[in-house]
Amino acid sequence: MVQTQTATASVDNVINEVIKSVAEVEDVDPLELTPPLYEVIDPDALESLFANDRTLGKVIFKYSGCEVSVFSDGYISVKSHST
């Protein structure tokens, strides 16, 4: 299992951090990830979900062979079980 975690990301950078983290775990260029993230989850919805500081929770989804967890405080965890 390969895993990476980011420091707290701002709401504006959540999508970029998810893409960057998944690419790091998969050891590929971010532009080579397939399918594009927008085909898996609505990027605008993900960013707006935690735009309110009072919202608590997390979103977990599968992307490019990884399990991605985005927490309301901006923390992002990416796990891959392919090694």
If one counts the domains in the chain, the total is: 1
Radius of gyration of the chain (CA): 12
Question: Among residues of the chain, what percentage have pLDDT more than 90?
Answer: 40
> Range of 12's domain?
2-80
pLDDT at residue 73 greater than cutoff 90? no
pLDDT-derived band at 71 (thresholds 50, 70, 90) equals confident
Is the confidence at residue 64, as pLDDT, over 60? yes
Q: What is the DSSP letter of 41?
A: S
Has residue 63 got a pLDDT over 90? Answer: yes
What's the pTM?
0.81
Q: Spell out the residues 6+ positions from residue 14 whose beta carbon is closer than 8 angstroms to its own.
A: 46, 47, 50, 70, 74, 76
What pLDDT was estimated at residue 35? 92
